[in-house]
Amino acid sequence: MAPTSWSSSVPWLLAVAFIGAHPAAAQDTRAAMVKLIEAQGVEDAATLAAMRAVPRHEFVPPEQRSRAYRDHPLPIGYGQTISQPYIVAYMTEILQPGPGMTVLEVGTGSAYQAAVLAETGAEVFTMEIIEPLAAEAERRLQRLGYADRVHVRHADGHFGWPDQAPFDAVIVTAAAGFIPPALVDQLRSGGRMIIPVGSVYGVQNLILVEKDAGGEVTTRTLLPVRFVPMVGGER
């Protein structure tokens, strides 16, 4: 699940015809996409390397492949979208994932964000409430070689993945009306969570949640965003 819109001052004229049949062209276009993300302020080397490595065109429907490397979200079915590249990179950079870390993702979607996290060396546990999307994501990750680093569960992400907790980081890719307490509880001391909070029809803000070594939790507003709503939350 992903942002429905995000404004950018950088023009992205990167449409690639027949991109699936031309891997070299896709790689060149992906490199150009990452240069523009870097120009917008993303600096973390591991994040940028991960964005260069993941073939975004493999995570969108075939009819959207020519638009895969533009800086905006794209529909993936079931009323969901794949996040725009800048937002994926920004959220990844904020979390600072890396080898030896475990990350919980709520809102698998097409699994693009999960693959980017895995490319940093983290082990990813990703949850998707829409069953067909979860099944498609699992097959896609298997085909692309991420199955050993990304674990998919069809479930309501409001309640997290308690049997794999605690997590070094948590990322939520749909707008919640509140910060789910279970996700805070499952965050390791010293960990970080990034989550969009707000109404689907009103103001949404990307919130950074940090838990210090003593377990104290603080929050900080990062920037305004527009995400599809996080559904579920009822037992």
Catalytic site positions? 83
Distance, CA of 204 to CA of 206 (rounded, Å)? 7
What type of residue sits at position 83? Answer: S
Distance, CA of 177 to CA of 40 (rounded, Å)? 28
Residues with Cβ within 8 Å of residue 75, at least 6 apart in sequence = 61, 64, 81
Distance, CA of 34 to CA of 45 (rounded, Å)? 11
Residues with Cβ within 8 Å of residue 82, at least 6 apart in sequence = 2, 56, 59, 60, 73, 74, 76, 109, 110, 112
Contact between residue 142 and residue 122 where contact means Cβ atoms under 8 Å apart: no
Structure tokens at 40: 């917008």
32-53 b/e (C-beta count within 10 Å ≥ 16 → b): ebbebbeeeebebebbbebbee
Structure tokens at 199: 């109404």
